[in-house]
Structure 1
Amino acid sequence: MRRVIFVDDAPEILQHLRRILGPMQSEWDMQFFPSAAAALPVIREGACDVVVSDMTMPVMDGAQFLSEVRTLSPETIRIVLSGDQSPVNHLRSAAVAHRFLQKPVDLSVLKATIAQAEALRAVLANPALRSLVGEIKVLPSLPSIYQNLMQEMQAPQASLKKASRIVAKDLGMMTKILQLVNSAFFGLRTHVSDPEQAVALLGFDTIKSLALSSQVFAQFDQGRLPSFSLEDLWRHAMLTGTCARRIAKDAGASQQVIDEAFTAALLHDVGVLVLAANKPEDYARVCDLMRTQRMPDWAAERDVFGADHAHVGAYLLGIWGLGDGIIEAVAFHQHPGECQAPGFTAVTAVHVANAIAEQQAQGEADTADLAGVDQEYLAREQCLLRLSGWRELCAAA
């Protein structure tokens, strides 16, 4: 039976939760606490599967409490349930929670949220994946420029000027930002050459994503696998990011989903870098299988390693503490049907964008069929009829 703990300092909220969760008594072992201080000793005594906490509580708030839970029980799914929708609370909760739900929440939404988070945990707990990652000697480190940008974003008086100075310290990073802001994607009539103006036009979240992805790519030693094209991989990542962002905007997704889609698209192949950098001889076999047997990359990787780059990349991003929306999109970008999230999500955007970018790279943009797209999944999420429109939208990317 799944053990679920609820924490909220408002008695009426706890009473409401007890009432709506009555039907789950046969499936969940539930406990309700009026404060973090009351819940922590129970969590110390034994592992729990899910913790659902309010954000704005006295003495120890939700972010502080869930940070403690993460230390005590890393495998626990952490959910914030809050009526405070301020950007500051979203930002603080993103660092410690897997999901953020708004009050009032109904039972179906809570059940779906927990199921979705558990599906991702199951993927990352795959013994073959853990064994493979355990053999890897060098994982890319979380770039310092990304950490510095995160600190600036979380500052009480965040400044675009300070952010642009952080970015300008990395010439390669600044070059990529200026390249993107001056691309056809933005449709600007004037050329942008000033870092501060570029940061203002792109926004904090886009800049943060570019900083993370470009520096991760920069950590890869091309010399260990000369036949491997890092430039092609980066070009594909950028094109996928551009397409995913367009698709998410066209779908009317929230800004959070748009940002998650862009970040995940830039990083969806980071697992390729991890495998190629640490096991170049084995990855050469993957490339050979793709070329001689015409196997898709994920199938060749599973044949050689027992796991594919999507799951390796998601595992790495989990270690780094990125949000579940991004990790999900990376983990399921090739097999979106395995994702439990309903409706249009970052998974949808990255899956379709990846297929479109691969087709464009092969010079087959006008081909009637789009190889690699899971049409059953798109039909399930009522997105299949939008596919042709998304292809046209991304044609000039």
Structure 2
Amino acid sequence: MNRADTGGSQTTAPLKILFIDPHAAFVTWGSGLVQYGCNWQVVRTDDGRAAIKMLEETNFDAVIVAALTSFERELGILRQVASTKPKTARILLSPALSAANLAKALDVVHRNIFQGCSVEEIVASVEQTVMVTRQLYRDKVVRSFAAFRQLPSPPSIYHELSRALNSDRTSTRDISAIVERDPALAARILRLVNSSYFALSRHISNLNEAITLLGVRTVRGLSLAGHLNAHYPEASAWKVFSFDMMSQRALCVARMAQEICGPYSKGQALKDQAFLAGLLLDIGMLMLAAEQGQGYLKVLKYAARKQLPLHVVERMAYGVTHAELGAYLLNMWNLAPQVVEAVLLHHEPDEAVGDSFTPLSAAHIADALLPSIANEFELDLSATLSDSYVERISAKQYLPSWKMVANGYRLRMRESERVQSA
């Protein structure tokens, strides 16, 4: 898909940018970008309330908020933007943030640009965000999504956990109290922490301890994945691939994506988002299999016969891919924008702009290095590793070690398949 199809930065119309500068610290910022050669129309204001009113009356491609001293207040403005105009790209311009504040920001903003970034980095970040947002809201994606008969509602427990994460006074005991109200989730957490993935020397039966080991954001991700898997159960007539095995593979992708972040992240935010993206990459595939049934069976069969990637045949048949449908659902549920982007582009990472390592990078590489689940047509359902993308994000040096990690997960997947078939 080329950029013109998605309404990306190669179109001739200038990008309309609303720049909210509460401390009047960037008075000449817009003119500097114009001098750089950006095809942008920048409207600057130092009044957050006036900015929200402008948004209600005028469409902007992106909103940039400068947060120099009052992080919580400026992040609150972007939360209002998300509620008022969800199709508008949300960008935070800030000094370096603490790990806790960065995690909060990444749950709301599409991009966090740090003070001192070059003009090139700023331009790439803004235009990438606008391009992804436009692709997500393509008319065909919106119409296809609306045609689904039974869409899941957002799980209340996910949002309870999100609110708890954003509170400075929440303890592990508070999180456990939320999780205990969902016995299936509690059981899944204990099963996971005692599985071979952790290889602990003793059995963990205490939910508090299990949540501490996993991390609250991982627990939140498991709650979401479990909710979606429960909403899309495998029909008795469906024989192409096992929904349960797909769920097991998703956990492997998620765990490996988290490990891949090691050389790039000193904090937890990137790892948490990579885990969640890996866990949810193929939810659109389950949506299509559950909703389209025999129609989707024909798509899979055609892809196998013609030896074409599944997402290419999906676009031929439906005008939309499982990646786009899954990303649209997660965006509707207000998931972290970079998680949505990872789901959207995991088969086509070269569509991303910029050369930084993101949750998309981790999810794409993990998905590509792990084997596809077994299926009736022996069709590879995983992503194909983009060597050009790996080169662009300067990750080639780590590929040999990541392939060794993938071999370990491959063995676990085989063991899981053996147990399932026994």
TM-score (norm 2): 0.83
Q: Could you tell me which residue of structure 1 aligns to residue 57 of structure 2?
A: 45
Structure 2 counterpart of 1:237, one-letter code:
A
SS of 2:388's equivalent? helix
Shift of 1:308: 1.4
Q: Could you tell me which residue of structure 2 aligns to residue 278 of structure 1?
A: 291
Question: 2:187, 2:242 → 1: CA distance?
Answer: 20
Q: Could you tell me which residue of structure 2 aligns to residue 125 of structure 1?
A: 137
Deviates more, 1:65-74 or 1:30-39: 65-74
1:110 equivalent to 2:126? Answer no
1:258 to 263, 266, 271: 271
SS of 1:396's equivalent? helix
Q: Could you tell me which residue of structure 2 aligns to residue 237 of structure 1?
A: 250
Shift of 1:288: 2.4
1:63 to 61, 75, 89: 75
Alignment of 1:280-295 (within 5 A): 280-295=293-308
1:323 equivalent to 2:336? Answer yes
Shift of 1:120: 0.8
Structure 2 counterpart of 1:21, one-letter code:
L
Structure 1 counterpart of 2:109, one-letter code:
A
Shift of 1:262: 0.6
Shift of 1:85: 2.4
On the 8 A contact 2:254/2:276 being kept in 1, the answer is yes
Question: 2:351, 2:299 → 1: CA distance?
Answer: 24
SS of 1:21's equivalent? helix
Shift of 1:181: 1.8
Q: Could you tell me which residue of structure 1 aligns to residue 379 of structure 2?
A: none
Structure 1 counterpart of 2:293, one-letter code:
P
Shift of 1:269: 0.5
Shift of 1:340: 1.4
Describe the shift of the 1:38–1:139 C-alpha distance in structure 2 as closer, same or farther (beyond 3 A). Answer: same
SS of 1:223's equivalent? coil
Alignment of 1:1-397 (within 5 A): 1-11=14-24, 13-15=25-27, 17-18=29-30, 20-24=32-36, 27-55=39-67, 61-83=73-95, 85-86=97-98, 89-90=101-102, 93-223=105-235, 225-227=237-239, 228-252=241-265, 254-358=267-371, 372-397=384-409
Residue deviations 1:50-99 (CA, integer Å, cap 9, x gap): 211134788x9323333443444332212122337256654554454322
Deviates more, 1:350-359 or 1:60-69: 60-69
Structure 2 counterpart of 1:101, one-letter code:
I
Question: 2:106, 2:274 → 1: CA distance?
Answer: 16
Describe the shift of the 1:96–1:215 C-alpha distance in structure 2 as closer, same or farther (beyond 3 A). Answer: same
Shift of 1:222: 1.9
SS of 1:197's equivalent? helix
Question: 1:225, 1:271 → 2: CA distance?
Answer: 19
Shift of 1:389: 1.4
Question: 1:70, 1:151 → 2: CA distance?
Answer: 16
Q: Could you tell me which residue of structure 1 aligns to residue 10 of structure 2?
A: none
Shift of 1:237: 0.5
Question: 2:106, 2:300 → 1: CA distance?
Answer: 37
SS of 1:81's equivalent? strand
On the 8 A contact 2:18/2:63 being kept in 1, the answer is yes
Q: CA RMSD, aligned part only?
A: 2.7
On the 8 A contact 2:87/2:137 being kept in 1, the answer is no
How many residue pairs match? The answer is 388
Question: 2:149, 2:266 → 1: CA distance?
Answer: 39
On the 8 A contact 1:6/1:32 being kept in 2, the answer is yes
Give unpaired runs (5+ residues) of structure 1: 363-369
Question: 1:371, 1:132 → 2: CA distance?
Answer: 23
Describe the shift of the 1:97–1:386 C-alpha distance in structure 2 as closer, same or farther (beyond 3 A). Answer: closer
Q: Could you tell me which residue of structure 1 aligns to residue 8 of structure 2?
A: none
Structure 2 counterpart of 1:259, one-letter code:
D
Deviates more, 1:86-95 or 1:182-191: 86-95
Describe the shift of the 1:302–1:360 C-alpha distance in structure 2 as closer, same or farther (beyond 3 A). Answer: closer
Q: Could you tell me which residue of structure 1 aligns to residue 4 of structure 2?
A: none
SS of 1:395's equivalent? helix
Describe the shift of the 1:25–1:261 C-alpha distance in structure 2 as closer, same or farther (beyond 3 A). Answer: same
Shift of 1:203: 0.9
On the 8 A contact 1:225/1:276 being kept in 2, the answer is no
Shift of 1:266: 0.2
Shift of 1:15: 2.9
On the 8 A contact 2:107/2:337 being kept in 1, the answer is no
Shift of 1:197: 0.5
SS of 2:91's equivalent? strand
Shift of 1:183: 3.1
